[in-house]
Structures are given as structure tokens and as C-alpha cells.
Amino acid sequence: DTGVSQDPRHKITKRGQNVTFRCDPISEHNRLYWYRQTLGQGPEFLTYFQNEAQLEKSRLLSDRFSAERPKGSFSTLEIQRTEQGDSAMYLCASSSAPGTTSSTDTQYFGPGTRLTVL
């Protein structure tokens, strides 16, 4: 399978605990995005990386959230001191940076990690 993969698919945690999610993008893609999606809503942008560099962060990304992409391949999203309002689907997507290939910009999504904070 050469698509975007995410792990775990489901996570249940207690309020106050830390959680970490992983995303493996399509191998030739150098851009990686994190989105959050709540029930009945469209995905909301959180942050994105081009290679190792985190180029943009949404105001939705509070100081309890941190994302890394240390080697420019997989990425992790950590949420510290989880709150019930953090319950959502966390989606990862990847794409090629504009100008690098003929099929630029299109973001391909992984299956998501559903987080439930009790």
C-alpha cells in the first residue's frame, strides 16, 4: 500500500494524559499536513511541513499541541494534557510542493486517527 498511513486508527485516553499520533506520507511527497475534523464538519488545518521544516501553524494549534517531522519522512503529532474538547478525528495528508512534479498541490489523506478523551 503506497498511500498515506496513520497510526493508531483509534485512541481512547483519559483527560490530562498525553497522546502521540504518527503519519507516514506517500514516499515521494515532501509536504505533510495535519488537520482536525469534528463530527459533521470539514477538516480544519492545523499545520504543515515541507521536508523537515514546519512552515505554517494554525491558531487552532494551542501550546499543548506539537508536531514534528525530524527526517522529512514520517511525522508525529503530540497532544499534551488532553482535554475533552480535543476529541476529534486527526487527519494527515501529503502532497508534492508546487513546481516539483506535474501533479502538484493535490493532497492525499490518510484514514485518520480518532481520538476520544474521557
* Residue 85 in the binding site for other proteins (CB under 8 A): no
C-alpha cell at 26: 506517500
The DSSP-derived string for 94-108 is: EEPPTTTSSS-S--E
Measured distance between the N- and C-terminal CA atoms of the chain, rounded to whole angstroms: 33
Q: Tell me which stretch binds other proteins (CB under 8 A): 13-21, 66-74, 80-88, 102-110.
A: 102-110
* Residue 44 in the binding site for other proteins (CB under 8 A): yes
Chain residues in the site for other proteins (CB under 8 A): 4, 6, 33, 40-45, 48, 56, 58, 91, 93, 97-98, 104-112, 114
